[in-house]
Structure formats: C-alpha cells, structure tokens
C-alpha cells in the first residue's frame, strides 16, 4: 500500500516529528511505502508532490491544527487523526488506513466514522 501523510502540531516541535517517526516505523513494519510531510517549527519539510498524492492509496493527516494545503487530499481516501493517536496507537491508525484503502476514493475517515 502507498501512503502519504502530513503531521503537524501547534508548536511544530516534538509531536510533529514524533508522530512522523511512529508512522514511518509502522509503515516499514507492515511493508507499506510511505512519504511523510512535516509541518513544523522548521517550516514544511519533505513536501508531498501532486504525483505523490495522486499515487497514494491512502492519505493520513496526523495533526492537532489545520494543515497547509489540505485541499490536495480532496480526491484521496483520507484518514484524520491526532498526533497523540499517531504516537500512542499507530497500529490502530494503520488498521483503519488499511480498511479505508478498500473504500471508494473521495472518502474521509475520522474517529467517528471508521
């Protein structure tokens, strides 16, 4: 499965990068390809290209704030979670992402509907 993700938190320091690291580790463990854009104190790093987004089976936004460029994911299967959830329960996040990958495109998932 190909995944793109964006992580962001209000201060743009620890949680942004911790969430990115946890998502990357679980993706590797599950043999998924992942590219993660971080929107932190250092600005936007590892920017997702339109091609990255178009090729993704699922997009994950792990953020506690509005992310810049969220409209890029309008045609994606999109899972929104908090940074805390990505850090504390990444296996559960990936289980939901895997289930969402089977859904039609333009589908979003929040904690309430997946």
Whichever domain contains 96, its CATH number is 3.40.50.2300
Q: Is residue 12 part of a domain?
A: yes
pLDDT of res. 108? 61
19-40 average pLDDT score: 97
Determine, yes or no, domain membership for 69: yes
User: Whole-model pTM?
Assistant: 0.90
| Domain count for the chain | 1
Question: What residues are paired with 58 via a beta bridge?
Answer: 3
Is the residue at 42 inside a domain? Answer: yes
Domain that holds residue 65: 2-109
7 in any annotated domain:
yes
pLDDT band at residue 104, thresholds of 50, 70 and 90? confident
Q: Please report the pLDDT score of residue 93 as a whole number.
A: 98
Which residues, other chains included, contact 28 with Cβ-Cβ below 8 Å and sequence gap of 6+? 34
Please give the positions annotated as active site. Answer: 9
Q: Which tens digit of pLDDT belongs to each residue from 40-82?
A: 988 999 999 999 999 999 999 999 999 999 999 999 999 999 9
Query: What band does 112 get if pLDDT is binned at 50, 70 and 90?
Result: very low
Residue 114 forms part of a structural domain: no
Sheet containing 108-109: order of strands: 43-45, 33-40, 2-8, 58-63, 78-81, 108-109
What pLDDT score was predicted for residue 42?
Answer: 86
| pLDDT over 80 (residue 107) | no
Q: What is the mean pLDDT of the chain?
A: 92
């Amino acid at each position: 499965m190909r995944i793109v993700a964006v992580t962001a938190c209000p201060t743009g320091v620890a949680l942004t990068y911790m969430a990115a690291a946890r998502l990357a580790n679980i993706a590797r463990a599950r043999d998924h390809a992942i590219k993660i854009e971080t929107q932190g104190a250092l600005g936007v790093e590892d920017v997702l290209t339109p091609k990255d987004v178009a090729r993704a089976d699922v997009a994950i936004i792990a953020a506690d704030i509005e992310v810049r460029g969220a409209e890029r994911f309008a045609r994606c299967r999109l899972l929104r979670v908090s940074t805390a959830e990505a850090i504390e329960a990444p296996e559960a996040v990936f289980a939901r992402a895997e289930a969402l990958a089977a859904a039609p495109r333009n589908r979003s998932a929040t904690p309430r509907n997946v």
